Amino acid sequence: MRKTIAATALTLSMTAAEAQPVPEAVGQVSPALQNYMTEDLNGRIWTDASLSQRDRSLVTLAALITRHEPEGLPAMAEQALDAGLTAAEISETVTHLAFYTGMGNATAAAEALAPVFAEHGISPEDLPVANPDLLPLDEEADDARATRLDGIYGNVSPGTLENTTNILFRDLWLRPDLAPRDRSLVTVAALIAAGQPEQMTFHLNRAMDNGLTQDEAGAVLAHLAFYAGWPRVFSALPVAKEVFENRQN
């Protein structure tokens, strides 16, 4: 049986690494929603060990950026830092998602996060540089990817394919301050949050190639149901199911 709202008040005092604070306005408008957020989101989802606090913070940042919800980013960034994400990793997440959710969403995220960075004494000099030494490129695999796309879309938009190869896969994805697994993780989270599961197959496979386990991937879906809504997660479930089954065969 669910606890009463009064009985759950203690949960609101959990540390940032354990739960997100529930705004007072939520209880004023919808005590039922406050209870769901306290009991289910904070009380069960955020404390579920199938996905680390750090990864949950990263996935939530990706969802908020994708859904253009900058008002939630400062508190989430504080929680992410407490959970072990570095300022460099948060910075790279914003940069990465500019290409998967749009420059406007990333700009709004930067504006929301700037005061948090300032409060923590994080300056641009502490963050990843524009042109770092890149990680090694798997040229054979990337040539195969580029050739496959060129065969499908080469006569539709050559510029898109050129930028995909040169900017995304031979630059952005090789930046060293966000691990390949984490880049894949935020990309998958963004695709789910944006309601674009048709793009998931490649990126979920890549995430699992980069170290994301099936249990962790399933936990990402359960987590994002609360941030992107059940319909978007259920649209993504068939894609995840197919990826999991194909990898087992």
Q: What is the pLDDT, as a whole number, of residue 3?
A: 42
Residue 86's Cβ-count burial label (10 Å; 0-12, 13-18, 19+) is middle
| Ramachandran category for residue 127: left, alpha or beta (phi over 0 → left; psi -120 to 50 → alpha) | beta
Show the CA angle centred on residue 208, arms to residues 66 and 65, nearest 5°.
10
pLDDT in tens, 158-199: 999 999 999 999 999 999 999 999 999 999 999 999 999 999
Please tell me whether the overall predicted TM-score, pTM, comes out greater than 0.95 for this model. no
Q: Distances from the Cα of 236 to the Cαs of 21, 35, 167, in angstroms?
A: 28, 27, 27
- Is 77 within 8 Å of 114 (Cβ atoms)? no
Name the architecture of domain 51-135+175-248: Up-down Bundle (1.20)
Q: How far is Cα 59 from Cα 102, in angstroms, rounded to an integer?
A: 17
- Is 177 within 8 Å of 128 (Cβ atoms)? yes
Q: What is the pLDDT, as a whole number, of residue 86?
A: 98
Q: How far is Cα 12 from Cα 19, in angstroms, rounded to an integer?
A: 8
Q: How far is Cα 220 from Cα 226, in angstroms, rounded to an integer?
A: 11
Residue 6's Cβ-count burial label (10 Å; 0-12, 13-18, 19+) is exposed
Q: How many CA atoms lie within 13 A of 106 on its CB side?
A: 15
Q: How many CA atoms lie within 13 A of 70 on its CB side?
A: 14
Q: How far is Cα 93 from Cα 99, in angstroms, rounded to an integer?
A: 10
Q: Which stretches in the chain have pLDDT values below 50?
A: 1-18
